[in-house]
């Protein structure tokens, strides 16, 4: 079971990276490596990029969970 969980996690991470281009928050949000240009926390609204990334991750997981078990 541990191996199956690891394989599923790897599959979901790969799908998220393929869809969004990265797994790293700083890269996803297009922030400088040294924090330059970072203006503190982003607003937590439906328009924030973070909302989109969380929604993408949830949709990928939901799609996997709807697949029939082997």
pLDDT digits (tens, 9 = 90+) for 17-37: 999 999 998 889 887 766 555
Cβ-contact 42, 29 below 8 angstroms: yes
Q: What is the pLDDT of residues 4-15, one digit of tens each?
A: 999 999 999 999
pTM: 0.76
The range of the structural domain enclosing residue 35 comes to 2-66
Domain count along the chain: 1
Q: Is 62 exposed, middle or buried (0-12, 13-18, 19+ CB in 10 A)?
A: exposed
- Find the range with the poorest average confidence among 15-19, 37-41, 57-61: 37-41
């Amino acid at each position: 079971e541990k191996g199956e969980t690891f394989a599923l996690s790897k599959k979901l991470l790969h799908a998220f990276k393929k869809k969004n281009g990265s797994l790293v928050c700083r890269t996803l949000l297009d922030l400088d490596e040294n924090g330059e240009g970072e203006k503190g926390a982003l607003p937590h609204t439906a328009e924030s990029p973070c909302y989109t990334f969380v929604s993408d991750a949830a949709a990928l997981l939901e799609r996997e969970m709807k697949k029939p078990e082997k």
